[in-house]
Structure 1
């Protein structure tokens, strides 16, 4: 499908948090945003609607970007009466495969189409249109929606079916959270020996393990600035979902990072960036 305004469908965004709100503004700037809604009202947001159903009536495609499976369920329940042939639901919240199956069945039963489209990339990536989608759906549907999703992302990767897309997203967040734990522990190990941060990060950059996460989190760790790009509570939720899968019972790093994220949330860091895992080691 061409990306011209005559052929790209209109879209509504349900959930205007850090990521959903950023994507919605990209769609608005491109002239494709038909409606926007958030549980906490944001009436000054472009194309604001008071109810999810109103967004669904106005848009060809609705994209759900909320916190967890119960939140997705509440949105699905609200929009089902407005779904039918000609409508498409893009589900971009991080959820588990079983929940995805349930939502897909409910949407398809109306005659609408369903695409599982979790993503990777926190606030800076979303603002720079560098988000990466993991798509679970048919090749035809992925190709049709590609010009629309391209308005706010750098890559759209077809993974397979909806369950596989959810699984890969959770697997990637396992990697990210474990890498953050390793970064926090190794930095603290050096700080306790008197190695300063300039030396630590200077040695890390030419190391084979240096990653995009290290680059992103270095300023936060240096300055103890844990303003949320992706919060502890949301990463903890994702790891709980990963642990709920039958296939993950013997994954030891998953167990460990869940324990650390729980400790961070219990310490009052839930609304801070998940780099606040490092605060568990900091002296009061």
Structure 2
């Protein structure tokens, strides 16, 4: 790569595309770390707080890409990632990759497919730039508190350059292997969550029907071997009737779909993932699409 951008935050322009539940907080942490923040979002009003704090708005993706040394994306679905990076159908010049500066780094933090991450990295390299796939775990709380787990695919030199930006957003940060490895690691994460959150919902339904104080149950078992984010945080939200999205059901369905497709491609049979996927699809079909993942509890207690 050539024209390596300066490492000092104030002289490094970082673009951020996708200011949703998590993206807005993540961009804010980058800005607070002293980087010159540039933003683009389909809904401009979501950028207001960042703009008020000094961020630069761009009406188009090409304009942002041409202005930035590093570009972070946090969008919804693989189809969104494809369009953001490769441009609209028949218009590749509207995407990030056609407009990357030599030496720039594109960092996709969306949970997407490993194969797409590999394509993005190869195309960026062909332009004298670089790309990392860096999906995250931790939900809205992790994004707000800058405690996200960040799993990265790419080369060591690019990872080292970008590490200070990652450190502004997260705590557990690791290079997992070449392009696509970050996405594969996220599929491992989502497979663990799929079975775990279903178990939490079923266990709390059991506690309710057995006449136990669910909050007391959470206090006791949350300090033992069953403890963890899904039980201690989302279990509490289930008991309190708080089903607001920290992570949308429809996005979780997308992730489980990617994991299931990758498992099939690799010849793996993952019945727990398949069951959770069916349960969540039923919940989405019954109106739970926009709930947080803890909303599955409503369907379990209803029967």
TM-score by length of 1: 0.93
Relative to the length of structure 2, the TM-score reads: 0.87
Contact 1:97 1:167 in 2 (8 A): yes
> Corresponding residue for 1:14?
17
**Residue 10 of structure 2 contacts residue 34 of structure 2 at CA under 8 Å; is this kept in 1?**
no
| Contact preservation (8 Å) 2:76, 2:251 | yes
Q: Output the CA distance in 1 between the equivalents of 2:152 and 2:35.
A: 21
- Contact 1:131/1:155 (8 A) holds in 2: yes
After TM superposition, list the pairs within 5 Å mapping 1:239-254 onto structure 2. Answer: 239-245=256-262, 246-247=265-266, 249-254=268-273
Structure 1 counterpart of 2:202, from 185, 190, 210 = 185
For structure 2, the residue ranges without an aligned partner over 5 or more in a row are 88-94
Q: Which residue of 2 aligns with 1:56?
A: 65
Task: Tell me the matched-pair count.
Answer: 283
Cross-structure match for 2:96: 79
Of 186, 201, 207, which aligns to 1:169?
186
Q: Which residue of 2 aligns with 1:219?
A: 236
Shift of 1:232: 0.6
Deviation at 1:94, TM superposition (A): 0.5
Shift of 1:283: 3.4
Whether the 8 Å CA contact 2:246–2:292 is kept in 1: the answer is: yes
C-alpha deviation, 1:66, in angstroms: 0.6
Q: How does 1:34-113 map to 2 (within 5 A)?
A: 34-42=37-45, 44=48, 45-46=50-51, 47-76=56-85, 77=87, 78-113=95-130
Residue 27 of structure 1 corresponds to 30
Task: State the secondary structure of the residue aligned to 1:281.
Answer: helix
CA contact (8 A) 2:154 2:181 kept: no
2: distance between equivalents of 1:198 and 1:129? Answer: 28
**Is 249-258 or 191-200 further displaced after alignment?**
191-200
Q: What is the SS of the residue equivalent to 2:266?
A: helix
Per the TM alignment, residue 26 of structure 1 is displaced from its structure 2 partner at its CA by 1.3
Matched with 1:267 is 286
Partner deviation per Cα, 1:191-235 (whole Å, 9 max, x = no partner): 112222133223312431211321111331121111110111111
Number of the residue aligned with 2:144: 127
Of 166, 169, 184 in structure 2, the residue corresponding to residue 149 of structure 1 is: 166
Between the aligned partners of 1:248 and 1:39, the Cα distance in structure 2 is 38
Q: CA deviation at 1:108?
A: 2.0
8 Å Cα contact 1:108/1:114 also seen in 2: yes
Give the 3 Å change call, closer, same or farther, for CA 29–202 of structure 1 in structure 2.
closer
Partner of 2:91: none
- 1:2: how far off? 9.9
